[in-house]
Amino acid sequence: MLKEFEATNFPSYLQGLCEQMQNSKIPVNPRIQAGVQLKNTLVSRSEQKNLQLEKRWLMLQPQVRSQIKMRMLHSLNLPEQQLRNIAAQVVAKVAKIEIPRDQWSGLIPQLVHVIAEEKTTDQLKEACFTTLGYVCEEVAQRPKEISSLPEPNIPSVSEKAAES
């Protein structure tokens, strides 16, 4: 039944998984499973399947993709570490697809900004650092595709802190 819903209404399927993952009224294990399902819509062990999953993601309306990305970024602040970790993985998988296509160029500066903010909790800083690590790992797997991208102008965390 879920596979059918995924096949027939992919945008609603993704949004439902995000809602499930963020719903604190639901026990943690089903929320974790929703996050894993969400991640699995973006990645496979098969390279050919990965290309299909990437294409399916890119075919989504930009507004839907933005909503999913924003929900996952907000999930980096969930109280449960397992959910924050899954959100970080989802963000990295999306980054792997979008950064080489210059479709999410603001992600890394946004994460660095959150880390540098004085008011940011240690829990959120850790989640942002984890996400940055995953993003670096994922994007590094695509060196040929990103070699032509311009160098980003990202201030260091120490520069950001000095501005505060």
Which pLDDT does position 159 carry in this prediction?
A: 55
Say how far apart CA 116 and CA 161 lie, in whole Å: 6
Structure confidence by residue, pLDDT tens digits, 113-129:
999 999 999 999 999 99
Which pLDDT does position 140 carry in this prediction?
A: 85
Q: What parts of the chain have a pLDDT lower than 70? A: 142-164
Which pLDDT does position 147 carry in this prediction?
A: 42
Per DSSP, the residues of 83-127 read: HHHHHHHHHHHHHHHHGGGTS-TTHHHHHHHHHH-TTS-HHHHHH
* Average pLDDT of the chain, as a whole number: 88
Which pLDDT does position 138 carry in this prediction?
A: 92
What contacts 126, CB < 8 A, 6 or more positions away? 84
Say how far apart CA 24 and CA 78 lie, in whole Å: 9
Structure confidence by residue, pLDDT tens digits, 143-158:
454 444 444 454 554 5
Say how far apart CA 73 and CA 145 lie, in whole Å: 25
Say how far apart CA 122 and CA 112 lie, in whole Å: 14
